[in-house]
Structure 1
Amino acid sequence: MFARMVVLLCALIAAGDASAQTAANPAPTKVMIVGTFHLDNPGRDVFNVQVDDVLTDKRQKELAAVAASLAKFAPTEVMVEWPQAQTDEQYASFRAGKLPPSRNEVVQLGFRLAKLRELERVHGIDVQGEFPFDPVKAYASSHGMAPRLDAALAGAGHEVQNLSERVREGSIGSVLRYMNSPERALKNHGFYVDMLRYGDGDTQPGARLVGAWYARNLAICARLLQSLPAGGRAVVFYGEGHAYLLRQCIVEAPGVELVEANDYLPK
């Protein structure tokens, strides 16, 4: 009898130690950044990927496959490139089956995944910011740097054409996989770093442009982290131009782990 009591006491102590260890080492908080392109051809950017109608059966099956693959990550939060008020209103309509058909990537990717995971809310974490590009162009024109800037813009335009061809020839999932490699995020970010060359002395239009871009992305990441509960698992859908800085913010955030989208996106 005494021996059994000793064994039971030891088991209780061990269970208490395990509970204390679990409390001291909670499940890690994880974030996946999914760089996207506009699915509805809004024409808001300097160069725009051309996309056929994503409401066709073929594209809807591809988008469903993307959502099903990302759902394997078991996200507890979904975050998108919209303001919160707009996100709340439209996601409520989407869940109720009252939202008119939309080709927007927020609906087709973010809302679809959130509904699949039966989430009650989608976090809209977008922040608007200035993008003072005209002073950069003026400086380039007046300091013999116009050819360099033209070449940089031509390179960006060529890559958008490449994405348009990939969309025509492949699935949306395969295009997202191509877009979401760490190497591509770094390469895309090189455009902004190169803008630092445009300026001299107290005239720094390039630095002002890059500073404004960094400020916007830091404000976005602030909302991301503020919406992320301890131990949560978030999928964040954002235009791929933001991917590098959002990834960097997550990598440097204490207690948060970056998860690669390509570990889950369909091939």
Structure 2
Amino acid sequence: MIVGTFHLDNPGRDVFNVQVDDVLTDRRQSELAGIAKSLARFAPTVVMVEWPEALTDERYASFRAGTLPPSRNEVVQLGFRLAALRELERVHGIDVEGDFPFEPVKVYANSHGMAPRLDAALAGAGKEVQALSERVRTGSLGSVLRYMNTPSRALENHGFYVDMLRYGEGGTQPGARLAGAWYARNLTICARLLQSLPAGGRAVVFFGEGHAYLLRQCVIEAPDVDLVEANDYLPK
């Protein structure tokens, strides 16, 4: 099960960031508990998250010991919470660093009359993040995750990276380099996913929604692995 998420702690790491109120309030904590309880019905034997392995091992051990300081991060609020509910001894951190060579795409767009197209794509992404922020403001976190985890939305988000292939010609292919770097990172993440999934295991994988399409594709194509839809379990 791939669960596409957004940052709950407003870290500002992305170009556009969903605005989230304090998830440590009683209301949001109740919603997060409900999400974990709903996902626990899947009976996962493995939980995987968007953190490096060593950091995840260290902080989950502290979480279980009750010594981890309060955290608004989605890894803690969703991944650790679900793993603890299932009494799992470990959470698998499967994230890896990757290149994102966007500047050459901008340079190419500016020098080949494609800047308006690129600007429109970025503006569209910004508007979608604003709309998602409004969904968070007016709805429950469970309902927002259900909206985010429809297969059609994963495909729509992924379209940005495929559209990058338009930026280039002949031996100059900055868009293909950008898309290739994104694919390479996600393939490495999926490699770690598959390597951490024992035969007969049932995994819930929490990752930023931008990764969802490629991780879903990898799981679908992997022999002897079945994709389970998150929306079959997420609360309404």
1:114 paired to 2:70: no
User: What is the rounded CA distance, in whole Å, between the counterparts of 2:207 and 2:127 in structure 1?
Assistant: 21
Deviation at 1:185, TM superposition (A): 0.2
User: What is the rounded CA distance, in whole Å, between the counterparts of 1:246 and 1:232 in structure 2?
Assistant: 17
User: What is the rounded CA distance, in whole Å, between the counterparts of 1:111 and 1:214 in structure 2?
Assistant: 27
SS of residue in 1 equivalent to 2:204: strand
Deviation at 1:89, TM superposition (A): 0.3
1:94-115 CA deviation, whole Å, 9 max, x = no partner?
A: 0011000000000000000000
User: What is the rounded CA distance, in whole Å, between the counterparts of 1:223 and 1:172 in structure 2?
Assistant: 28
User: What is the rounded CA distance, in whole Å, between the counterparts of 1:64 and 1:133 in structure 2?
Assistant: 38
Amino acid paired to 2:162 = V
2:147 is aligned, of 173, 178, 182, to 178
Deviation at 1:49, TM superposition (A): 0.1
User: What is the rounded CA distance, in whole Å, between the counterparts of 2:17 and 2:157 in structure 1?
Assistant: 15
SS of residue in 2 equivalent to 1:79: strand
User: What is the rounded CA distance, in whole Å, between the counterparts of 2:115 and 2:49 in structure 1?
Assistant: 36
User: What is the rounded CA distance, in whole Å, between the counterparts of 2:16 and 2:53 in structure 1?
Assistant: 27
Amino acid paired to 1:56 = T
1:210 paired to 2:179: yes
Amino acid paired to 2:61 = A
User: What is the rounded CA distance, in whole Å, between the counterparts of 2:84 and 2:53 in structure 1?
Assistant: 17
1:255 is aligned, of 204, 221, 224, to 224
Q: Equivalent residue for 1:131?
A: 100
| TM-score normalized with structure 1 length | 0.88
1:110-163 CA deviation, whole Å, 9 max, x = no partner?
A: 000000000000000001000000000000000000000000000000000010
Q: Equivalent residue for 1:264?
A: 233
Alignment of 1:77-156 (within 5 A): 77-156=46-125
Alignment of 1:237-256 (within 5 A): 237-256=206-225
Tell me, which stretches of 5 or more residues in structure 1 are unaligned? 1-31
User: What is the rounded CA distance, in whole Å, between the counterparts of 1:49 and 1:79 in structure 2?
Assistant: 22
1:185-230 CA deviation, whole Å, 9 max, x = no partner?
A: 0000000000000000000000000000000000000000000000
User: What is the rounded CA distance, in whole Å, between the counterparts of 1:88 and 1:193 in structure 2?
Assistant: 35
Q: Taking every aligned residue pair, what percent have the same amino acid on both sides?
A: 86
- Which has more radius of gyration? 1
1:228 is aligned, of 166, 187, 197, to 197
SS of residue in 2 equivalent to 1:259: coil
1:189 is aligned, of 148, 158, 163, to 158
Q: CA RMSD in A?
A: 0.2
Amino acid paired to 2:67 = K
Alignment of 1:32-71 (within 5 A): 32-71=1-40
User: What is the rounded CA distance, in whole Å, between the counterparts of 1:84 and 1:193 in structure 2?
Assistant: 29
Aligned residues: 236
Point out 4+ residue stretches in structure 1 off by more than 6 angstroms: none
Amino acid paired to 1:256 = V
2:43 is aligned, of 56, 59, 74, to 74
